[in-house]
Structure 1
Amino acid sequence: MAGHGTEQHPHGADRLCETGDRVYSRAVRRGRVRRRDADPVPCLLELALLHPDPDDMDWLVPTAPQEVMTRLLRAVHDEVSASRHRVGAAVAAVEWYAGLGGRLPSSGTEGSSIRVLEGLSRIQTAMDEATEACTTEVLTVQPGGIRREAELSEGLHRALTLRGRGVRMRDLYNHVARHGQGLLNYLELMGDTVEARTLDEVVDRLILFDRTVAFIPANADHTMALELRHPALVGYFATVFERFWRLAIPLTAPLPDTGIEGISHREQSIAALLAEGHQDAVIAERLGISVRTCRAHIARLSETLGAASRTQLGVRIAQVGLDSAAPTPGAPQVALPDQGSPTAL
């Protein structure tokens, strides 16, 4: 921005000033605001959060929140992609230098704090070694959808070995994993040795043994992994796990009601991600469902909220509060807006 708007409102669209937030929120709720109401906040026009109503230039209509966020997130995605590329290059360089020979004296931690494991066989061997050394607990994050029988069987021998030594295990999954019979069978077999909880979204795969060694993926297809033994890194991942665990819902407990009649818990999660501007494929990946299933839920959302387009769906989502985080347990039912008018309060 430049000029008057920059001096009074030095911010981006991801963090509006108090006045701008109030005017934009009113525009989303009502469908439009008078132009004079937006005069004190030129940032809303400069950021394209509001634009003139083609039918009446004295009024301004809001840009759908997901469209605004899509523009922002595209830039953030580019930055993250560039950072990942730099990290990959740095890891490759370290591996190259480490392979030149063992001529340098060891510092005591060099070469052991972070180890790059390439190939499924090498990853499997390292995991087996960590399993053999584990004596207390294993913490895991398992993203994705319904767990396949083959995946569960693959790690079953390790789980049974750990159970035999009295090791406790805690697993975090996406909510959608609740619908997999294979997971339920696995948990029944393991008894009270394993405790499982679920969330709408979890981080990428993570396995922690005794809070001394952690394994995380190093590429998209999981054919490379990092074995981490640095206390600061392992402690950080343990803290991340514990905070997710506190927010998660036990697998034996039902998912909370959304507080909005006709809207399921998963549809609320999809609505919140739509409001952030995410595309269908991204939403599906984050919630551990297929793109086809995701689009079916979006279609049901549109029908339930009386939205005839994606843009109108974004407005409806904001009107009923589905753009917020998970519902508060015991919250009262929220009435849907009048589906006969796109500007209903």
Structure 2
Amino acid sequence: MLTTSAKPTHPHPAVPLCGEGSRLYALALSSGRILRSEAENTPCLMDFALLHPDPDDANWLRPVPPSAALAQRLHPLEREIQERRRVAVELTDIFEPFMAITAREEPTTHAITVLEGDARIHAAIERATAECRSEVLTVQPGGGRSENTLTVALQRGQTILDRGITMRTLYQHTVRHSQGTLAYAAYMAQGNVEIRTLEELTDRLMIFDRNVALIPARADQQVALELRHPGLVEYLAKVFEEQWSRATPLIDDVPYPPSVDGITGVQRSIAKLLIDGHVDEAIARRLGMNVRTCRAHIAKIAAALGSGSRAQLGYLIAQSGILDQDRPK
């Protein structure tokens, strides 16, 4: 009996572009076209509308310019944002009659409110965004954002852009390698928005008009605190300003010190955390990178210093002098 081999399934149904798809798209952009047979096992390239048939030769595929592909992805999001704004207006009209009733009651303001679960946390952020009139300050540690996270950020960001609110955001240096985050930053740059990066950041922080702040209360991000005490909010705003003054604008190059004995500025930061006793997971979290990338840097440090073990590595880092130039003179 004759049998036919099954067509390869898409290796990542939840991800728009796989690693092989990214490689082939880059190849198509640099060379102008690729053979159709090369793209057979990467259906994401066609599904994502990054390639189209060559009108002159059916055996070849030509790339769609990245700017056009990005615009295709953003347009549905913009339409969704408009629809959500329409729903927000309808909800405002529904609840407006009740506002006058509650306004006659004795006003109560809780200095600290505990928010449990994503639904309550997101609702508090949406409420604070709606109340905001002039300024938003945010600290967002970690590396590149997922598509879902960027979609939510874009929806909130559009509201801020439409209302002319000033926004300043601090990311970690590692987002400079995330194309999705860079695309979001470029979109937000059309408004009164500034973005800077630091190597290390404190935990997440959002401040609205210096009247209300939200901070995480648990490592899994499932519990947050909404702060409305003026003293607490002002203290957090000062922490933000101190970090902002040391941060580098996203459009500028990161001012890492020059390499020393083949060890880069990022690797010296990792080396310092290593001799301070931090484990790989803690180092990766503090520097906003994944654990695999962190361990690859550690392996390069060990190779550069000729270390044969983790215990020896700490000793060699301390003896090598590679951290001397990071110390104050």
TM normalised by structure 2 equals 0.63
* Residue-by-residue CA offset, 1:294-335 (whole Å, 9 max, x unaligned): 11111100111222222332233223434468589xx9xxxx
2:172–2:199 contact (8 Å) kept in structure 1: yes
1:258–1:327 contact (8 Å) kept in structure 2: no
Counterpart AA for 1:151: T
Secondary structure (helix, strand or coil) at the match of 1:300 reads: helix
2:133–2:165 contact (8 Å) kept in structure 1: yes
Distance (whole Å) between structure 1 residues aligned to residue 158 and residue 327 of structure 2: 37
Give the aligned partner of residue 112 of structure 1: 110
Give the aligned partner of residue 218 of structure 1: 217
Output aligned runs, 1:298-313, within 5 Å: 298-313=298-313
Q: CA deviation at 1:231?
A: 0.6
Give the aligned partner of residue 233 of structure 2: 234
Secondary structure (helix, strand or coil) at the match of 2:314 reads: helix
1:140–1:172 contact (8 Å) kept in structure 2: yes
Secondary structure (helix, strand or coil) at the match of 1:155 reads: helix
After superposition, the Cα gap between the structure-2 partners of 1:257 and 1:121, relative to the gap in structure 1 and judged at 3 Å, is closer
Counterpart AA for 1:310: R
2:175–2:182 contact (8 Å) kept in structure 1: no
| Runs of 4+ residues deviating >3 angstroms | 319-328
1:307–1:313 contact (8 Å) kept in structure 2: yes
Counterpart AA for 2:121: I
Counterpart AA for 2:212: V
After superposition, the Cα gap between the structure-2 partners of 1:286 and 1:120, relative to the gap in structure 1 and judged at 3 Å, is same
After superposition, the Cα gap between the structure-2 partners of 1:211 and 1:133, relative to the gap in structure 1 and judged at 3 Å, is same
Task: State percent identity of aligned pairs.
Answer: 51
Give the aligned partner of residue 66 of structure 1: none
Tell me: higher relative CO, structure 1 or 2? Use CA pairs within 8 A at least 6 residues apart.
Answer: 1
1:256–1:327 contact (8 Å) kept in structure 2: no
Secondary structure (helix, strand or coil) at the match of 1:169 reads: strand
Q: Would you say how many aligned residue pairs link Structure 1 and Structure 2?
A: 223
Q: Which runs of 5+ in 2 are unaligned?
A: 1-105
1:176–1:289 contact (8 Å) kept in structure 2: yes
Counterpart AA for 2:142: G
Secondary structure (helix, strand or coil) at the match of 2:110 reads: coil
TM normalised by structure 1 equals 0.60
Counterpart AA for 1:127: I
Give the aligned partner of residue 289 of structure 2: 289
Give the aligned partner of residue 243 of structure 2: 244
Counterpart AA for 1:187: A
Q: CA deviation at 1:206?
A: 0.6
Q: CA deviation at 1:219?
A: 1.7
Distance (whole Å) between structure 2 residues aligned to residue 325 and residue 181 of structure 1: 32
